[in-house]
């Protein structure tokens, strides 16, 4: 913060800069005597007070410097204590961080082992299930194949038996009535045709 003397000097400088030059001159100016004298009068009045203030500051220089030094020493001491505390806490945090990282690595390794073991178990169970299912389907396939073969044989025997009876009946009719045209009807062919027609409708 500037003193009043400095402010008055700045006002005088601004006043001089604002004055107009005399005609045909670039160095002489026209001033208002009363205004300038008023500024100078205030300057003279303020000067003793300012000088006394400065003298007092100078006389108390040692005390001010000593107080400033004490405050500076206190600030430095406090800062050093805080720095030591931060360093100590930093070392503790560093150790804690190292332990945390080590624990995290161990945990990740254990978790990976669990995942690997679970994956192997799941793969083994899946393979066993596939093998078991394939074995069951194979047995079912054999049973169905045998059933189809057996049913086919019985069906053919049944058809042949009926066809034989039909042929005998047809032959007897022919013997009784020679004018009746002999029949070449085949039950097996008729059943095959019916089965094909059902398949096509489906």
Give the pLDDT confidence score for residue 181 in this predicted structure: 59
Residues 6 or more apart whose CB falls under 8 angstroms from that of 163 comprise 186, 187, 188
Distance CA 68, CA 72 (A): 6
Q: What DSSP assignment string belongs to 18-61?
A: HSEEPTT-SS-EE--HHHHHHHHHHHHHHHHHHHHHHHHHHHTH
Cβ atoms of 170 and 185 closer than 8 Å = yes
Model pTM score = 0.34
Pick from 66, 62, 84: nearest CA to 74: 66
Tokens of 150: 């057996």
| CA–CA distances in Å: residue 63 to residues 6, 120, 158 | 26, 83, 136
Residue 50 contacts residue 4 (beta carbons within 8 Å): yes
Supply the pLDDT for residue 169.
Answer: 79
Successive 10-residue mean pLDDT values, the chain, 202 residues: 75 86 83 86 79 70 78 88 83 83 85 86 82 73 77 82 82 73 63 67 64
CB within 8 Å of 22: residues ≥ 6 apart: 28, 29, 30
Distance CA 142, CA 196 (A): 26
Whole-number pLDDT of residue 19: 86
């Amino acid at each position: 913060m500037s003193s009043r003397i400095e402010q008055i000097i700045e006002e005088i400088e601004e006043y001089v800069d604002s004055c107009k030059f005399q005609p045909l001159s670039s160095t002489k100016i026209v001033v208002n005597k009363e205004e300038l004298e008023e500024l100078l009068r205030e300057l003279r009045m303020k000067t003793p007070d300012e000088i006394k203030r400065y003298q007092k500051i100078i006389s108390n220089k040692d005390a001010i410097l000593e107080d400033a030094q004490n405050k500076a020493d206190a600030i430095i001491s406090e800062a050093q204590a805080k720095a030591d505390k931060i360093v100590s806490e930093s070392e503790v945090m560093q150790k804690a961080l190292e332990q945390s990282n080590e624990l995290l690595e161990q945990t990740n390794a254990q978790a990976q082992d669990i995942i690997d073991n679970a994956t192997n178990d799941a793969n083994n169970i899946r393979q066993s299930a596939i093998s078991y299912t394939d074995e069951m389907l194979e047995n079912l396939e054999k049973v169905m194949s045998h059933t189809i073969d057996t049913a086919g044989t019985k069906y053919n025997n049944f058809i042949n038996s009926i066809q034989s009876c039909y042929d005998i009946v047809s032959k007897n009719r022919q013997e009784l009535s020679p004018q009746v045209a002999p029949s070449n009807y085949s039950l097996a062919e008729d059943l095959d045709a019916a089965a094909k027609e059902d398949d096509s409708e489906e």
